[in-house]
Amino acid sequence: MILNLIYESMPQLLKSSILTIHLTCISLIIGACLALPLALGRLSKNRWVAGFSFAYVYYFRGTPLLVQIFLIYYGLPQIGLTLDAYTSALLSLSLNTAAYTAEIIRGGIQAVAAGEIESAHAMGLNRAQVLRRIILPQMIGFALPAYGNEIILQIKATSLASTITLMDLTGMARTLAAETYAPLEIFCAAGIIYLVMVFSTSKLVTWMERRSTVYRC
Amino acid sequence: MHTNFKVNEVPQVEVRDIWKRFGSDDVLKGVSLKAYNHDVISIIGSSGSGKSTLLRCINYLEIPDAGSIFIDGEPIKMKRNRDGRLVPAERAQVCRLRTKVSMVFQNFNLWSHMTVLQNLIEAPMRVLKRPRHEAVEYAELLLQKVGIAEKRDEYPARLSGGQQQRVAIARALAMMPQVLLLDEITSALDPELVGEVLNVIRSLAAEGRTMIIVTHEMKFAREVSNLVIFLNEGVICEAGPPQKVFESQETERLRAFLSST
Protein backbone atom coordinates (compact mmCIF):
# COMPACT_ATOMS: atom_id res chain seq x y z
CA MET A 1 0.00 0.00 0.00
CA ILE A 2 1.32 3.39 -0.97
CA LEU A 3 0.30 5.97 1.63
CA ASN A 4 1.51 8.66 -0.69
CA LEU A 5 -1.22 7.78 -3.16
CA ILE A 6 -3.90 8.40 -0.55
CA TYR A 7 -2.44 11.83 0.02
CA GLU A 8 -2.09 12.60 -3.66
CA SER A 9 -5.61 11.55 -4.58
CA MET A 10 -7.15 13.74 -1.86
CA PRO A 11 -7.48 17.03 -3.80
CA GLN A 12 -9.48 15.39 -6.59
CA LEU A 13 -11.57 13.32 -4.20
CA LEU A 14 -12.33 16.35 -2.03
CA LYS A 15 -13.37 18.31 -5.08
CA SER A 16 -15.76 15.55 -6.14
CA SER A 17 -17.19 15.27 -2.63
CA ILE A 18 -18.69 18.71 -3.20
CA LEU A 19 -21.17 16.94 -5.49
CA THR A 20 -21.81 14.36 -2.77
CA ILE A 21 -22.57 17.10 -0.24
CA HIS A 22 -24.63 18.98 -2.81
CA LEU A 23 -26.74 15.93 -3.69
CA THR A 24 -27.22 15.15 0.02
CA CYS A 25 -28.29 18.65 1.01
CA ILE A 26 -30.59 19.39 -1.92
CA SER A 27 -32.28 15.99 -1.81
CA LEU A 28 -32.79 16.29 1.96
CA ILE A 29 -34.38 19.72 1.53
CA ILE A 30 -36.70 18.59 -1.28
CA GLY A 31 -37.39 15.37 0.61
CA ALA A 32 -38.33 17.21 3.81
CA CYS A 33 -40.68 19.50 1.89
CA LEU A 34 -42.46 16.48 0.43
CA ALA A 35 -42.32 14.55 3.70
CA LEU A 36 -44.43 16.89 5.81
CA PRO A 37 -47.53 16.72 3.59
CA LEU A 38 -46.94 12.97 3.20
CA ALA A 39 -46.79 12.50 6.97
CA LEU A 40 -49.95 14.55 7.46
CA GLY A 41 -51.51 12.50 4.67
CA ARG A 42 -50.67 9.29 6.51
CA LEU A 43 -52.46 10.68 9.57
CA SER A 44 -55.42 12.03 7.58
CA LYS A 45 -58.91 10.69 8.14
CA ASN A 46 -59.59 11.01 4.41
CA ARG A 47 -59.20 7.52 2.96
CA TRP A 48 -57.88 8.69 -0.42
CA VAL A 49 -55.26 10.99 1.02
CA ALA A 50 -54.14 8.40 3.56
CA GLY A 51 -54.14 5.70 0.88
CA PHE A 52 -51.98 7.71 -1.50
CA SER A 53 -49.44 8.54 1.21
CA PHE A 54 -49.34 4.94 2.32
CA ALA A 55 -48.76 3.70 -1.24
CA TYR A 56 -46.01 6.27 -1.78
CA VAL A 57 -44.17 5.33 1.39
CA TYR A 58 -44.70 1.64 0.72
CA TYR A 59 -43.21 1.84 -2.78
CA PHE A 60 -40.16 3.94 -1.93
CA ARG A 61 -39.31 1.99 1.20
CA GLY A 62 -40.06 -1.34 -0.39
CA THR A 63 -37.83 -1.11 -3.47
CA PRO A 64 -34.06 -0.57 -3.67
CA LEU A 65 -32.88 2.95 -4.33
CA LEU A 66 -30.72 1.64 -7.18
CA VAL A 67 -33.81 0.29 -8.93
CA GLN A 68 -35.54 3.65 -8.44
CA ILE A 69 -32.55 5.44 -9.97
CA PHE A 70 -32.43 3.09 -12.95
CA LEU A 71 -36.17 3.38 -13.43
CA ILE A 72 -35.92 7.14 -13.73
CA TYR A 73 -32.64 7.31 -15.70
CA TYR A 74 -33.09 4.37 -18.06
CA GLY A 75 -36.85 3.76 -17.80
CA LEU A 76 -38.40 7.18 -18.32
CA PRO A 77 -36.74 7.84 -21.74
CA GLN A 78 -38.77 4.91 -23.05
CA ILE A 79 -41.94 6.94 -22.51
CA GLY A 80 -40.34 10.03 -23.97
CA LEU A 81 -39.08 11.69 -20.80
CA THR A 82 -35.31 11.92 -20.81
CA LEU A 83 -33.63 13.37 -17.74
CA ASP A 84 -29.91 13.93 -17.46
CA ALA A 85 -27.91 11.96 -14.92
CA TYR A 86 -27.79 14.76 -12.35
CA THR A 87 -31.54 15.37 -12.42
CA SER A 88 -32.29 11.67 -12.29
CA ALA A 89 -30.07 11.15 -9.29
CA LEU A 90 -31.39 14.17 -7.45
CA LEU A 91 -34.99 13.23 -8.19
CA SER A 92 -34.71 9.65 -7.02
CA LEU A 93 -32.72 10.58 -3.91
CA SER A 94 -35.33 13.21 -3.02
CA LEU A 95 -38.34 10.98 -3.58
CA ASN A 96 -36.67 8.20 -1.63
CA THR A 97 -35.73 10.22 1.43
CA ALA A 98 -39.19 11.82 1.41
CA ALA A 99 -40.72 8.42 2.18
CA TYR A 100 -38.40 7.69 5.09
CA THR A 101 -38.64 11.23 6.45
CA ALA A 102 -42.43 11.09 6.25
CA GLU A 103 -42.43 8.08 8.56
CA ILE A 104 -40.03 9.81 10.96
CA ILE A 105 -42.23 12.92 11.05
CA ARG A 106 -45.35 10.82 11.55
CA GLY A 107 -43.73 9.13 14.53
CA GLY A 108 -42.71 12.52 15.94
CA ILE A 109 -46.21 13.92 15.56
CA GLN A 110 -47.73 10.91 17.26
CA ALA A 111 -45.32 11.32 20.17
CA VAL A 112 -46.74 14.76 21.06
CA ALA A 113 -48.92 14.43 24.17
CA ALA A 114 -52.59 14.23 23.20
CA GLY A 115 -53.51 16.37 26.20
CA GLU A 116 -51.41 19.29 24.97
CA ILE A 117 -53.12 19.17 21.58
CA GLU A 118 -56.50 18.97 23.26
CA SER A 119 -55.83 21.95 25.49
CA ALA A 120 -54.73 23.92 22.44
CA HIS A 121 -58.05 23.20 20.75
CA ALA A 122 -59.86 24.02 23.97
CA MET A 123 -58.18 27.45 24.03
CA GLY A 124 -59.68 28.21 20.63
CA LEU A 125 -56.64 27.71 18.41
CA ASN A 126 -57.65 26.47 14.98
CA ARG A 127 -56.18 23.36 13.39
CA ALA A 128 -53.45 25.17 11.46
CA GLN A 129 -52.37 27.04 14.60
CA VAL A 130 -52.32 23.87 16.67
CA LEU A 131 -50.14 22.22 14.04
CA ARG A 132 -47.74 25.13 13.64
CA ARG A 133 -47.47 26.28 17.23
CA ILE A 134 -47.88 23.11 19.30
CA ILE A 135 -47.35 19.96 17.24
CA LEU A 136 -44.52 20.81 14.84
CA PRO A 137 -42.13 22.46 17.33
CA GLN A 138 -42.36 19.42 19.61
CA MET A 139 -42.27 16.98 16.68
CA ILE A 140 -38.82 18.26 15.74
CA GLY A 141 -37.43 17.30 19.14
CA PHE A 142 -38.95 13.83 18.94
CA ALA A 143 -37.90 13.24 15.32
CA LEU A 144 -34.32 14.52 15.38
CA PRO A 145 -32.54 11.37 16.61
CA ALA A 146 -34.14 9.27 13.87
CA TYR A 147 -33.70 12.01 11.30
CA GLY A 148 -29.98 12.27 12.09
CA ASN A 149 -29.76 8.65 11.12
CA GLU A 150 -31.59 9.39 7.88
CA ILE A 151 -29.12 12.16 7.01
CA ILE A 152 -26.22 9.75 7.47
CA LEU A 153 -27.92 7.10 5.33
CA GLN A 154 -28.55 9.73 2.69
CA ILE A 155 -24.86 10.78 2.56
CA LYS A 156 -23.96 7.19 1.83
CA ALA A 157 -26.86 6.66 -0.56
CA THR A 158 -25.58 9.40 -2.86
CA SER A 159 -22.74 7.03 -3.82
CA LEU A 160 -25.29 5.25 -6.03
CA ALA A 161 -25.31 8.32 -8.27
CA SER A 162 -21.93 7.13 -9.53
CA THR A 163 -23.68 4.22 -11.26
CA ILE A 164 -25.27 6.64 -13.70
CA THR A 165 -22.02 8.42 -14.64
CA LEU A 166 -21.99 11.16 -12.01
CA MET A 167 -18.60 12.15 -10.64
CA ASP A 168 -19.44 12.25 -6.98
CA LEU A 169 -16.96 11.03 -4.38
CA THR A 170 -17.52 7.38 -5.26
CA GLY A 171 -17.56 8.07 -8.99
CA MET A 172 -14.24 9.90 -8.80
CA ALA A 173 -12.74 7.15 -6.66
CA ARG A 174 -13.74 4.57 -9.25
CA THR A 175 -12.13 6.60 -12.02
CA LEU A 176 -8.93 7.19 -10.08
CA ALA A 177 -8.75 3.53 -9.11
CA ALA A 178 -9.01 2.55 -12.74
CA GLU A 179 -6.31 5.04 -13.71
CA THR A 180 -3.82 4.18 -10.95
CA TYR A 181 -4.48 0.46 -10.58
CA ALA A 182 -4.48 1.10 -6.84
CA PRO A 183 -8.06 0.60 -5.68
CA LEU A 184 -7.02 -0.15 -2.08
CA GLU A 185 -5.45 3.26 -1.49
CA ILE A 186 -8.06 5.20 -3.45
CA PHE A 187 -11.10 3.62 -1.83
CA CYS A 188 -9.46 3.97 1.60
CA ALA A 189 -9.11 7.67 0.89
CA ALA A 190 -12.75 7.92 -0.22
CA GLY A 191 -13.83 6.00 2.89
CA ILE A 192 -11.96 8.45 5.12
CA ILE A 193 -13.79 11.38 3.54
CA TYR A 194 -17.18 9.67 4.00
CA LEU A 195 -16.29 8.97 7.64
CA VAL A 196 -15.44 12.61 8.31
CA MET A 197 -18.72 13.74 6.72
CA VAL A 198 -20.77 11.25 8.71
CA PHE A 199 -18.97 11.98 11.97
CA SER A 200 -19.42 15.74 11.74
CA THR A 201 -23.08 15.29 10.79
CA SER A 202 -23.80 13.15 13.81
CA LYS A 203 -22.06 15.67 16.10
CA LEU A 204 -24.16 18.45 14.60
CA VAL A 205 -27.38 16.50 15.06
CA THR A 206 -26.58 15.69 18.68
CA TRP A 207 -26.01 19.36 19.34
CA MET A 208 -29.31 20.30 17.65
CA GLU A 209 -31.09 17.60 19.60
CA ARG A 210 -29.89 19.04 22.89
CA ARG A 211 -30.92 22.52 21.85
CA SER A 212 -34.39 21.52 20.69
CA THR A 213 -35.29 19.66 23.86
CA VAL A 214 -34.03 21.98 26.60
CA TYR A 215 -37.60 22.21 27.89
CA ARG A 216 -37.74 18.54 28.79
CA CYS A 217 -35.32 18.74 31.72
CA MET B 1 -85.50 21.26 40.44
CA HIS B 2 -82.89 23.83 39.34
CA THR B 3 -82.62 26.55 41.88
CA ASN B 4 -80.61 28.97 39.80
CA PHE B 5 -83.43 29.88 37.44
CA LYS B 6 -83.52 33.57 36.58
CA VAL B 7 -86.09 35.42 34.56
CA ASN B 8 -84.94 37.66 31.69
CA GLU B 9 -81.32 36.63 31.85
CA VAL B 10 -79.55 34.73 29.13
CA PRO B 11 -77.56 31.87 30.64
CA GLN B 12 -73.83 31.95 29.88
CA VAL B 13 -73.95 28.26 29.20
CA GLU B 14 -77.02 26.25 28.48
CA VAL B 15 -77.01 22.52 27.91
CA ARG B 16 -80.25 21.22 26.52
CA ASP B 17 -81.06 17.53 26.65
CA ILE B 18 -77.73 16.14 25.48
CA TRP B 19 -77.05 12.50 24.82
CA LYS B 20 -73.69 10.89 24.31
CA ARG B 21 -72.79 7.31 23.61
CA PHE B 22 -69.35 5.69 23.47
CA GLY B 23 -69.63 2.42 21.60
CA SER B 24 -72.56 0.65 23.20
CA ASP B 25 -72.27 2.68 26.38
CA ASP B 26 -74.73 5.51 26.99
CA VAL B 27 -72.70 7.99 28.98
CA LEU B 28 -75.14 10.90 28.97
CA LYS B 29 -78.85 10.31 28.73
CA GLY B 30 -80.61 13.61 28.37
CA VAL B 31 -78.78 16.08 30.57
CA SER B 32 -79.75 19.75 30.77
CA LEU B 33 -78.28 22.56 32.79
CA LYS B 34 -77.99 26.34 32.78
CA ALA B 35 -75.17 28.41 34.18
CA TYR B 36 -75.95 32.08 34.76
CA ASN B 37 -73.51 34.85 35.46
CA HIS B 38 -71.76 34.38 38.85
CA ASP B 39 -72.97 30.80 39.20
CA VAL B 40 -70.57 28.27 40.62
CA ILE B 41 -71.93 24.87 39.73
CA SER B 42 -70.35 21.69 41.04
CA ILE B 43 -70.99 18.40 39.32
CA ILE B 44 -70.47 15.39 41.55
CA GLY B 45 -70.96 11.68 41.03
CA SER B 46 -69.05 8.43 40.95
CA SER B 47 -66.54 7.77 38.22
CA GLY B 48 -68.19 6.76 34.99
CA SER B 49 -71.28 8.81 35.78
CA GLY B 50 -70.58 11.10 32.81
CA LYS B 51 -69.36 14.20 34.70
CA SER B 52 -66.26 14.82 32.62
CA THR B 53 -68.05 13.96 29.39
CA LEU B 54 -70.71 16.53 30.20
CA LEU B 55 -68.06 19.17 30.83
CA ARG B 56 -66.18 18.25 27.66
CA CYS B 57 -69.36 18.53 25.62
CA ILE B 58 -69.78 22.14 26.70
CA ASN B 59 -66.71 23.25 24.74
CA TYR B 60 -67.12 20.58 22.08
CA LEU B 61 -64.10 18.48 22.93
CA GLU B 62 -66.74 15.78 22.79
CA ILE B 63 -69.54 16.14 20.30
CA PRO B 64 -72.91 15.12 21.74
CA ASP B 65 -74.97 12.68 19.69
CA ALA B 66 -78.14 14.64 20.34
CA GLY B 67 -79.20 17.80 22.11
CA SER B 68 -77.86 21.31 21.92
CA ILE B 69 -75.40 23.61 23.62
CA PHE B 70 -75.78 27.37 23.84
CA ILE B 71 -72.90 29.61 24.76
CA ASP B 72 -74.02 33.08 25.75
CA GLY B 73 -77.33 32.38 24.03
CA GLU B 74 -75.68 31.34 20.76
CA PRO B 75 -76.32 27.78 19.63
CA ILE B 76 -73.46 25.79 18.12
CA LYS B 77 -74.47 25.06 14.55
CA MET B 78 -74.47 21.39 13.68
CA LYS B 79 -74.74 19.34 10.53
CA ARG B 80 -74.72 15.65 9.71
CA ASN B 81 -71.63 14.28 7.99
CA ARG B 82 -71.58 11.44 5.48
CA ASP B 83 -71.75 8.77 8.19
CA GLY B 84 -74.82 10.47 9.63
CA ARG B 85 -73.03 11.72 12.73
CA LEU B 86 -73.56 15.22 14.07
CA VAL B 87 -70.54 17.45 13.61
CA PRO B 88 -70.09 21.21 14.04
CA ALA B 89 -71.08 22.99 10.83
CA GLU B 90 -68.40 25.66 11.16
CA ARG B 91 -65.09 25.00 12.84
CA ALA B 92 -64.51 28.74 13.12
CA GLN B 93 -67.63 29.13 15.22
CA VAL B 94 -66.48 26.41 17.59
CA CYS B 95 -63.09 28.14 17.94
CA ARG B 96 -64.80 31.46 18.62
CA LEU B 97 -67.17 30.04 21.23
CA ARG B 98 -64.35 28.17 22.93
CA THR B 99 -62.74 31.48 23.75
CA LYS B 100 -65.75 32.23 25.94
CA VAL B 101 -65.48 29.01 27.95
CA SER B 102 -61.97 28.14 29.08
CA MET B 103 -61.16 24.71 30.36
CA VAL B 104 -58.67 23.56 32.99
CA PHE B 105 -57.73 19.90 32.78
CA GLN B 106 -56.97 17.20 35.30
CA ASN B 107 -53.47 16.72 33.88
CA PHE B 108 -52.76 20.46 33.37
CA ASN B 109 -51.85 19.92 29.70
CA LEU B 110 -49.52 22.90 29.61
CA TRP B 111 -47.54 23.18 26.38
CA SER B 112 -44.25 21.68 27.44
CA HIS B 113 -42.09 23.44 24.83
CA MET B 114 -43.18 26.88 25.99
CA THR B 115 -42.30 28.78 29.15
CA VAL B 116 -44.97 29.71 31.65
CA LEU B 117 -45.32 33.17 30.15
CA GLN B 118 -45.47 31.84 26.58
CA ASN B 119 -48.19 29.42 27.67
CA LEU B 120 -50.22 32.37 28.94
CA ILE B 121 -49.86 34.68 25.94
CA GLU B 122 -50.12 32.14 23.12
CA ALA B 123 -53.89 31.93 22.78
CA PRO B 124 -54.63 35.60 23.57
CA MET B 125 -52.19 36.64 20.82
CA ARG B 126 -53.13 34.04 18.20
CA VAL B 127 -56.85 33.71 18.84
CA LEU B 128 -57.90 37.05 20.32
CA LYS B 129 -55.26 38.93 18.24
CA ARG B 130 -54.16 40.97 21.22
CA PRO B 131 -50.88 42.84 20.90
CA ARG B 132 -47.96 41.19 22.62
CA HIS B 133 -47.29 43.83 25.27
CA GLU B 134 -50.94 43.79 26.37
CA ALA B 135 -50.97 40.01 26.55
CA VAL B 136 -47.74 39.98 28.55
CA GLU B 137 -48.97 42.64 30.93
CA TYR B 138 -52.19 40.76 31.63
CA ALA B 139 -50.35 37.45 31.91
CA GLU B 140 -48.03 38.88 34.57
CA LEU B 141 -51.01 40.15 36.50
CA LEU B 142 -52.59 36.71 36.41
CA LEU B 143 -49.37 34.97 37.43
CA GLN B 144 -49.22 37.24 40.44
CA LYS B 145 -52.80 36.41 41.25
CA VAL B 146 -52.15 32.66 41.27
CA GLY B 147 -48.90 33.26 43.16
CA ILE B 148 -46.19 32.18 40.72
CA ALA B 149 -45.00 35.40 39.15
CA GLU B 150 -41.37 34.40 39.79
CA LYS B 151 -41.72 31.30 37.59
CA ARG B 152 -42.66 33.15 34.41
CA ASP B 153 -39.61 32.02 32.44
CA GLU B 154 -39.53 28.40 33.60
CA TYR B 155 -40.62 25.47 31.49
CA PRO B 156 -43.57 23.45 32.87
CA ALA B 157 -41.38 20.39 33.50
CA ARG B 158 -39.53 22.38 36.17
CA LEU B 159 -42.68 23.10 38.18
CA SER B 160 -44.52 21.02 40.78
CA GLY B 161 -47.98 19.69 39.95
CA GLY B 162 -49.66 22.36 42.04
CA GLN B 163 -47.68 25.09 40.33
CA GLN B 164 -48.45 23.66 36.90
CA GLN B 165 -52.13 23.58 37.69
CA ARG B 166 -52.05 27.18 38.86
CA VAL B 167 -50.36 28.13 35.60
CA ALA B 168 -53.09 26.24 33.74
CA ILE B 169 -55.74 28.22 35.62
CA ALA B 170 -53.95 31.46 34.75
CA ARG B 171 -53.73 30.34 31.12
CA ALA B 172 -57.48 29.75 31.06
CA LEU B 173 -58.11 33.16 32.66
CA ALA B 174 -55.84 34.87 30.15
CA MET B 175 -58.55 34.37 27.53
CA MET B 176 -60.91 36.49 29.68
CA PRO B 177 -63.56 33.79 29.41
CA GLN B 178 -67.12 34.21 30.60
CA VAL B 179 -67.14 30.74 32.09
CA LEU B 180 -64.41 28.51 33.50
CA LEU B 181 -64.76 24.76 33.16
CA LEU B 182 -62.71 22.85 35.72
CA ASP B 183 -62.32 19.14 35.10
CA GLU B 184 -61.17 17.35 38.29
CA ILE B 185 -58.34 19.80 38.58
CA THR B 186 -56.98 18.41 41.85
CA SER B 187 -57.25 14.70 41.06
CA ALA B 188 -53.73 14.36 39.69
CA LEU B 189 -52.10 16.28 42.53
CA ASP B 190 -50.26 15.07 45.61
CA PRO B 191 -52.48 15.62 48.65
CA GLU B 192 -50.30 18.39 50.05
CA LEU B 193 -50.60 20.38 46.80
CA VAL B 194 -54.40 20.29 46.58
CA GLY B 195 -54.87 23.19 48.98
CA GLU B 196 -52.92 25.76 46.98
CA VAL B 197 -54.99 25.05 43.87
CA LEU B 198 -58.33 25.09 45.69
CA ASN B 199 -57.41 28.41 47.28
CA VAL B 200 -57.04 29.94 43.85
CA ILE B 201 -60.49 28.67 42.88
CA ARG B 202 -61.95 29.97 46.15
CA SER B 203 -60.71 33.45 45.37
CA LEU B 204 -62.14 33.23 41.84
CA ALA B 205 -65.50 32.22 43.27
CA ALA B 206 -65.37 35.14 45.65
CA GLU B 207 -64.81 37.44 42.65
CA GLY B 208 -68.06 36.21 41.16
CA ARG B 209 -66.56 34.20 38.31
CA THR B 210 -68.92 31.81 36.59
CA MET B 211 -67.58 28.30 36.93
CA ILE B 212 -68.66 24.76 36.27
CA ILE B 213 -66.63 22.39 38.36
CA VAL B 214 -66.33 18.63 38.16
CA THR B 215 -64.84 17.54 41.44
CA HIS B 216 -64.35 14.79 44.00
CA GLU B 217 -63.67 17.28 46.79
CA MET B 218 -67.04 17.31 48.53
CA LYS B 219 -66.11 19.80 51.22
CA PHE B 220 -64.84 22.16 48.57
CA ALA B 221 -67.95 21.76 46.38
CA ARG B 222 -70.13 22.51 49.38
CA GLU B 223 -68.18 25.59 50.27
CA VAL B 224 -67.84 27.35 46.89
CA SER B 225 -70.87 26.41 44.83
CA ASN B 226 -74.38 27.76 44.76
CA LEU B 227 -75.67 24.76 42.85
CA VAL B 228 -74.61 21.15 43.17
CA ILE B 229 -75.59 18.59 40.55
CA PHE B 230 -75.42 14.89 41.29
CA LEU B 231 -74.95 12.94 38.11
CA ASN B 232 -75.70 9.23 38.20
CA GLU B 233 -75.50 6.84 35.25
CA GLY B 234 -75.82 9.63 32.72
CA VAL B 235 -78.77 11.48 34.21
CA ILE B 236 -79.09 14.28 36.74
CA CYS B 237 -80.29 12.40 39.75
CA GLU B 238 -80.49 15.32 42.14
CA ALA B 239 -79.63 19.00 42.04
CA GLY B 240 -79.95 21.89 44.40
CA PRO B 241 -78.13 24.29 46.68
CA PRO B 242 -75.29 22.66 48.62
CA GLN B 243 -77.09 22.59 51.97
CA LYS B 244 -79.90 20.59 50.46
CA VAL B 245 -77.72 18.21 48.46
CA PHE B 246 -75.35 17.53 51.33
CA GLU B 247 -77.84 17.54 54.20
CA SER B 248 -81.31 16.51 53.08
CA GLN B 249 -81.00 14.21 50.11
CA GLU B 250 -84.11 13.12 48.28
CA THR B 251 -82.69 9.99 46.71
CA GLU B 252 -81.14 6.86 48.13
CA ARG B 253 -78.48 6.96 45.35
CA LEU B 254 -77.13 10.31 46.49
CA ARG B 255 -77.12 9.24 50.13
CA ALA B 256 -75.20 6.12 49.21
CA PHE B 257 -72.74 8.12 47.09
CA LEU B 258 -72.09 10.70 49.80
CA SER B 259 -71.58 8.11 52.50
CA SER B 260 -69.02 6.35 50.31
CA THR B 261 -66.85 9.43 49.86
Query: Which ipTM was obtained for this model?
Result: 0.92
The C-alpha atoms of residue B88 and residue B98 are separated, in whole angstroms, by 13
Q: With a CB-CB cutoff of 8 Å, which residues 87-146 of chain A face chain B?
A: 113, 115-116, 118-127, 129, 133-134, 137-138, 141
pLDDT in tens, B102-138: 999 999 999 999 999 999 999 999 999 999 999 999 9
Smallest Cβ distance to B61: which of A118, A129, A141?
Answer: A118
The Cα of A44 is separated from the nearest Cα of chain B by a number of Å equal to 16
- The residues in A 152-171 lying below 8 A from B, measured between CB atoms, are none
Hey, what amino acid is at B79? K
CB B60 within 8 A of CB B88: yes
Minimum distance, in Å, between the CA of residue B176 and any CA atom of chain A: 11
Q: Is the pLDDT of residue B247 over 70?
A: yes
Distance CA B72, CA A201 (A): 56
**Do the strands B25-35 and B101-104 form a parallel or antiparallel pair, or are they unpaired?**
unpaired
State the average pLDDT over residues B167-176. 96
Structural domains of chain A, count: 1
Residue A90 sits in a domain whose CATH number is 1.10.3720.10
Distance, CA of B245 to CA of B152 (rounded, Å):
41
Range of the structural domain that residue A88 is part of: 2-216
pLDDT confidence band for B80 (50 / 70 / 90) = confident
Positions of chain A with pLDDT lower than 50, given as ranges: none
Residue A124 has its nearest CB partner, among B95, B105, B113, at B95
CA distance A215 to chain B (A): 6
- Using one digit for the tens of pLDDT, what is the confidence trace for A188-201? 999 999 999 999 99
Q: Do B109 and A119 touch (CB under 8 A)?
A: yes
Report the share of chain A in percent with pLDDT over 70.
Answer: 99
